[in-house]
Amino acid sequence: MHDSRPGVPPLGLPRPGLPAILAVMPFDARFLQTLEALNLLARRTLVGDDRAERLTPRKGASLEFADYRRYTPGDEIRYIDWNVYARHGSLFVKEFTAEENIHVSILLDTSRSMAFGGKFQAAQELAAALGYIGLSNYDTLSLFTFGHEVRPIKKFLRGKGRIFELLSAIEPLQADGETDMKKAFGPSLPRLRGRSLILLITDFYDLGGYNGGIRELLSQRFGIHLIHMVSREEMSPFARGRFSLIDLETGKTRDATLLPRTLAAYMRRFRAFCSEVEEFGRTHELAYARVMADDPLERRVVEILRAGGIVEQR
């Protein structure tokens, strides 16, 4: 399954200039078919929608013609109006309003703590896979990064042909700086009219607390899915002895002797922290999935995110 326009090969085939991220991601034809069989679940928290699930684009879905706009590379060729082209010699695509389509915003945490234990690369891969699911369902997709502020990377992409543009934007991103979700999410995020869903990909490490930032997003009437990135090493550290511990985001250090009882106390605190984030999501009726950074990407998407109520089988 791939874009059938001339010069656009399947994602699983080599192509000069392809983003290097494809070399470490299983974006072959089989995996694409797996992604295309999934939908992003839109919860009832979305504005104007009191149902528990989204409608899916399939035969018989209600599409209403809205307007024309000029064709741009990456648009689906099935929506080109060839009658207009025959009369005027210019390519225009039809735009439709469809109840099942949503505006999906991926908010990717690029703070320094995400660089630990492979979390950031795993988060980049998830952003690419989830972005492809949205684009293949003809949802409108935007990508933002955040630390202490939100930075727009790509806005309002639509159609599977835009996947290379998305991958090229994700590949060079790096983890740096501190997290301040309340400050970052205070200003309103750009959005389209209609239902809007946020996929928040983060480790929730925020010294000021993540609660205030997520409440800022809720006040903007977004539906929110929480994707909690965790590394194996931070969940079960194997270090023993005397160390100088460094806070990755602030650079502050603290000397500590890591004894078995110290590590046991840490692991209890860490598990409690994860449970608190999950309970916060449950209390606010937000989907939540905890993702281990070293799990295979397909398991992260198909098993973990499905179990967390973030994606579903079509």
Question: Mind listing the domains of the chain with CATH numbers?
Answer: 63-98 (no CATH), 103-313 (3.40.50.410)
How many secondary structure helices (H) and strands (E) does the chain include? 10, 12
Average pLDDT over residues 137-151: 94
Residue 21 carries which side chain, given as an amino acid letter? I
Residue 92 predicted with pLDDT over 50: yes
Token digits of residue 109 = 């945490």
**pLDDT tens, 166-224?**
999 999 999 999 999 999 999 999 887 778 899 999 999 999 999 999 999 999 989 99
For 194, other C-beta atoms within 10 Å of its C-beta total 16
Residue tagged 């082209």 (tokens):
85
Exposure of 198 by Cβ count < 10 A (0-12 exposed, 13-18 middle, 19+ buried)? buried
Is 36:130 a contact under the CB 8 Å cutoff?
no
Lowest mean pLDDT among 93-102, 152-161, 248-257: 93-102
